[in-house]
């Protein structure tokens, strides 16, 4: 069923692509939500992922499940957006009051109701990404290093830090 939808979408059938979206939006949104820790950003990244997927559909050759391909694309989109944001912030000195930009980042977003989800959302960015990719999504440290552009050792250190912070928070 999914294979047929992918084949039709690759031929330019937008209805088929919409059906794929309906099947997989929840999976992509969950990943984006956990990686960004912000519901609004997760919505935007989810949209970015499907737009990117439409553009790159022809490069999908069926060597893996389409959902796996899309999942990896989602991680790439979130990481690329983060890198772009960092580069832009390095080029640009933003508002006079830097605290303004931090406002709202500390509190977890609507939709993350259970304690663990809230604790994950409140983790520092790097630690959160590694925890989500390693402990929830099952990527290896090597894969995380490749996806995020950090060293494997840094990935391990971030995972240790994330687990430590989570246990500390959940044991309070």
Partner 1 sequence: MNERELLEAAGRLPKSIEPPRDLWPGIEARLRRSRRWYWVPLVAAAAIAAVLIGRGREGYQMTWLAGAGTGTLRVGEWVETDDSSRVVIAVGHIGQVEVQPRTRIQLVTARADDHRLALARGAIEAKVDTIPRIFFVETPVGTAIDLGCAYTLQMDSLGNGLLHVTAGEVEFQGTGGDARVPMGAVVLTRAGVGPGIPYVEDASETLKRALAASDVRGILTAARPDDAISLWHLLRRVDSGQRAVVYDRLAALVPPPPGVTRTAALALDRAVLDGYWTHIHRILFRKVMLRGVRDIDPRTGTRAR
96 near partner 1, rule: CB under 8 A: yes
42 near partner 1, rule: CB under 8 A: yes
110 near partner 1, rule: CB under 8 A: yes
Q: Judged by CB, which is closer to partner 1: 42, or 151?
A: 42
User: Buried b / exposed e across 82-115, counting CB within 10 Å, b at 16+?
Assistant: beeeeeeeeeeeeeeeeeeeeeeeeebbeebeee
66 near partner 1, rule: CB under 8 A: no
Among 3, 4, 13, 51, binds partner 1 (CB under 8 A): 51
Q: Judged by CB, which is closer to partner 1: 14, or 153?
A: 14
d(CA 86, CA 169): 28
d(CA 36, CA 108): 10
54 near partner 1, rule: CB under 8 A: yes
55 near partner 1, rule: CB under 8 A: yes
Neighbours of 126 (CB within 10 A): 17
What phi, psi does 18 have (nearest 5°)? -65, -40
d(CA 143, CA 138): 10
d(CA 68, CA 149): 20
135 near partner 1, rule: CB under 8 A: yes
Q: Judged by CB, which is closer to partner 1: 22, or 64?
A: 22
**5 closest CA partner among 85, 75, 67, 83:** 67
83 near partner 1, rule: CB under 8 A: no
Among 18, 62, 107, 151, binds partner 1 (CB under 8 A): 18
Tell me which residues touch partner 1 (CB under 8 A). Answer: 12, 14, 17-18, 21-22, 25-27, 29-30, 33, 39, 42-44, 46-47, 50-51, 54-55, 58, 81, 84, 88, 91-97, 100-101, 103-104, 110-111, 116-117, 131, 135-136, 163, 166-167, 170-171
């Amino acid at each position: 069923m999914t294979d047929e939808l992918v084949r039709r979408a690759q031929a330019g059938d937008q209805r088929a692509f919409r059906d794929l979206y309906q099947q997989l939006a929840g999976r992509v949104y969950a990943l984006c939500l956990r990686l960004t820790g912000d519901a609004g950003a997760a919505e935007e990244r989810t949209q970015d992922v499907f737009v990117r997927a439409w553009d790159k559909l022809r490069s999908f050759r069926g060597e893996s499940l389409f959902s796996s391909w899309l999942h990896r694309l989602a991680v790439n989109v979130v990481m690329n957006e983060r890198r772009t944001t960092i580069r832009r912030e390095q080029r640009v000195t933003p508002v006079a009051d830097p605290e303004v930009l931090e406002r709202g980042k500390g509190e977890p977003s609507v939709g993350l109701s259970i304690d663990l989800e809230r604790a994950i959302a409140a983790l520092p960015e790097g630690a959160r990404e590694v925890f989500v990719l390693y402990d929830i999504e099952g990527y290896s440290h090597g894969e995380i290093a490749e996806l995020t552009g950090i060293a494997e050792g840094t990935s391990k250190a971030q995972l240790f830090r994330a687990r430590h912070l989570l246990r500390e928070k959940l044991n309070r």
